[in-house]
């Protein structure tokens, strides 16, 4: 994130959004974009990233910023994930979670 912030500081406020989009599209497809979306305040994109990601790790990480704007979607993700986990309980670790 430090390098990202350094790069962002090279641009004027007016030109940054266009450069940001160019940067985002040039990143490798497997790049985790959640931290960048959160840092930029792109919460609609962050929500899509969190919902698409399996499990609830990202959801727990970004719940605080997402639940204010998207409470129904956050709840739905929790319910879907926990229901799927309940069907697939194979060991005590998953059961405890």
Q: What percent of the chain has pLDDT over 90?
A: 74
CA 20 to chain centroid? 17
Three-state SS for 95? helix
From the list 43, 36, 32, the residue with the least C-alpha distance to 16 is 36
pLDDT in tens, 10-19: 999 999 999 9
Between CA 34 and CA 95 the distance in angstroms is 27
Cα(first)–Cα(last) distance of the chain, in Å?
A: 30
CA atoms lying within 13 Å on the CB side of residue 25: 5
pLDDT in tens, 31-75: 999 999 999 999 999 999 999 998 889 999 999 999 999 999 999
């Amino acid at each position: 994130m430090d390098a990202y912030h350094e790069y962002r500081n090279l641009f004027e406020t007016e030109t940054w959004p266009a450069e940001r989009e160019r940067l985002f599209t040039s990143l490798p497809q497997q790049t985790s974009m959640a931290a960048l979306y959160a840092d930029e305040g792109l919460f609609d994109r962050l929500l899509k990233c969190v919902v698409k990601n399996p499990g609830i790790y990202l959801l727990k990480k970004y719940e605080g910023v997402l639940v204010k704007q998207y409470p129904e979607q956050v709840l739905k993700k929790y319910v879907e994930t926990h229901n799927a986990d309940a069907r697939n309980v194979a060991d005590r670790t998953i059961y405890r979670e």
